[in-house]
């Protein structure tokens, strides 16, 4: 978790060590950065994110896989229905994460 005014790719740099093992990382344009792509490649993770509009050379990515990102977006939409999560009511990160886990579990079963 980072502050609201921190850019996406800087937030990704701080959480890179905490990423679980995965084959592919699907992200939006806000995370497009060469350093992040290189770090993912070193870990053997394929990056599936479009390049920013100001790139001189376009980035090739799997458009079909990128479209599946909407599942994650819908999950976040459901989590934000919970006032406690939408307003970041909890001060401690571990308490906030616990609330997210509970809300995700309940949302999954409904």
55 and 5 within one domain: yes
50 and 13 within one domain: yes
62 and 32 within one domain: yes
- 70-83 pLDDT per residue, tens: 888 888 888 888 88
Q: How much is the pLDDT for 16?
A: 75
Q: 48 - beta bridge partners? A: 26
Collect contacts of 1-7 with beta carbons under 8 A, ≥24 apart.
Answer: 1/93, 1/96
First vs last Cα of the chain: how many Å apart? Answer: 27
pTM above 0.95, yes or no: no
Domains identified in the chain, total number: 2
Angle of helix 70-79 relative to helix 93-109, nearest 10 degrees, comes to 110
Please name which of 47, 50, 108, 51 lies closest in space to residue 78, comparing C-alpha atoms: 108
Q: How much is the pLDDT for 2?
A: 55
Domain interval for residue 42 = 1-68
101 and 51 within one domain: no
- 10-46 pLDDT per residue, tens: 667 667 777 788 899 888 887 888 888 888 899 898 9
């Amino acid at each position: 978790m980072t502050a609201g005014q921190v850019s996406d790719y800087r937030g990704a740099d701080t959480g890179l060590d905490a990423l679980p093992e995965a084959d592919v990382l699907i992200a939006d344009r806000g995370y497009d950065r060469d350093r992040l792509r290189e770090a993912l490649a070193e870990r053997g993770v394929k990056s599936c994110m479009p390049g920013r509009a100001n790139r001189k050379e376009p980035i090739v990515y799997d458009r079909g896989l990128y479209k599946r990102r909407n599942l994650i977006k819908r999950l976040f939409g459901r989590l934000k229905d919970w006032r406690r999560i939408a307003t970041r009511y909890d001060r401690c990160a571990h308490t906030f994460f616990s609330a997210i886990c509970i809300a995700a579990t309940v949302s999954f079963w409904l």
